Amino acid sequence: MRRFDEPTSRFYISELVLVLEYLHETQDGIAYRDLKPENLLLDKDGHIKLVDFGFAKRLGRDGDKPGETYTLCGTPEYLAPEVIQNKGHTTAVDWWALGILLYEFLTGYPPFWHQNPMEIYKQIVNKPIVFPSEPALSPESKDLISQFCIVDRSKRLGNISGGAGRVKEHAFFREVNWDDVANRRSKGPIVPPIKAADDAQCFDRYPEDDGNHSSFTDEMAEKYDHYFADF
């Protein structure tokens, strides 16, 4: 599709807002730290599934404030400035990445890009986000992206007082019924063409997969199948 229209983008971003709210506002205060298109899968009804928690970290909470960590990790185009500057970062990095993701959904490319990762880091720290004239983005989408991608994390939407609740109140989500989103009351804009529960046509086959892997036993099914009940 190259890029998404605004209703499609809004559907996925809305679901991700609820994912981040859940991760951030639990007592564990989990920072995901690797939000990008490659880590978003679709289930059989077209809903977002966030995968690959290899960079996720429990930061805990100090009252209303999340804990901090200093590990440099993530994907260059999506890193928040405070990660690059090694100032210590919190769950606020995920809201920055959500802004970058929305920009990429709507335009087809991220706002900061270069073949050399060091140049990407310089752009993130020093350059403001510039919106293209084509495709034309709505004022609401541009404002949401700008509020997510504020270098000063104390002013970043999602990280300011009110947390994810303030994000939900933004004009970009004016027509969103958050209870409907949470309860998956409508199918996603892209529904995978699944023919059966074991249909793997949407996944790449790799040369090293010669089919000689071990069998999926009844014991394994009993142990693991419930994790994939809604895929």
Q: Which residues are registered as beta bridge partners of 41?
A: 49
Active-site annotation holds for 34: yes
Contact residues for 75 (Cβ-Cβ < 8 A; gap 6+): 34, 36
The catalytic position among 34, 43, 143, 152 is 34
* Catalytic residue IDs: 34
